[in-house]
Amino acid sequence: MPIYEYACRACGNRFDLLVRGKETVACSSCASQDLERLLSLPTVKSDSTHALAMAAAKKRDKRQADENIRKQREYEASHD
């Protein structure tokens, strides 16, 4: 039972779908059957891609922490 990626020609929606047997496939957004099956590329995981993902996550987490600290300070300043 393969999972295919599709692009709807009617509305442009892109989605993945598990196809069983001879099922007819329809867009999950507009129910059109005018679909294009896309080439799925495998995900590659290596030490370098893992390091890049971790660096991006740390950067995102620091930005969120800084934002939370700023919001907390604004809240405390307005409720004294």
- Residues of 37-71 as b/e, b for ≥16 C-beta within 10 angstroms? eeeeeeeeeeeeeeeeeeeeeeeeeeeeeeeeeee
Residues 46 and 73 in one domain: yes
**pLDDT reading at 40 higher than 80:** no
Q: Percent of the chain scored above 70 by pLDDT?
A: 94
Residues 8 and 34 in one domain: yes
**Average of per-residue pLDDT across 15-34:** 88
Question: ∠ at Cα 49 (65, 57), nearest 5°?
Answer: 5
Q: How confident is the model at residue 4 (pLDDT cuts 50, 70, 90)?
A: confident
**Average of per-residue pLDDT across 38-55:** 83
Q: List 18's β-bridge partners, or say none.
A: 3
Q: How does the average pLDDT of the chain come out, rounded?
A: 89
Residue 33's domain spans which residues?
A: 3-38
Residues 77 and 56 in one domain: yes
Residue 46 and residue 60: Cα distance in Å, rounded?
21
Residue 35 and residue 55: Cα distance in Å, rounded?
37
Residues 34 and 49 in one domain: no
Residues 53 and 34 in one domain: no
**pLDDT reading at 41 higher than 60:** yes
The tally of domains found in the chain comes to 2
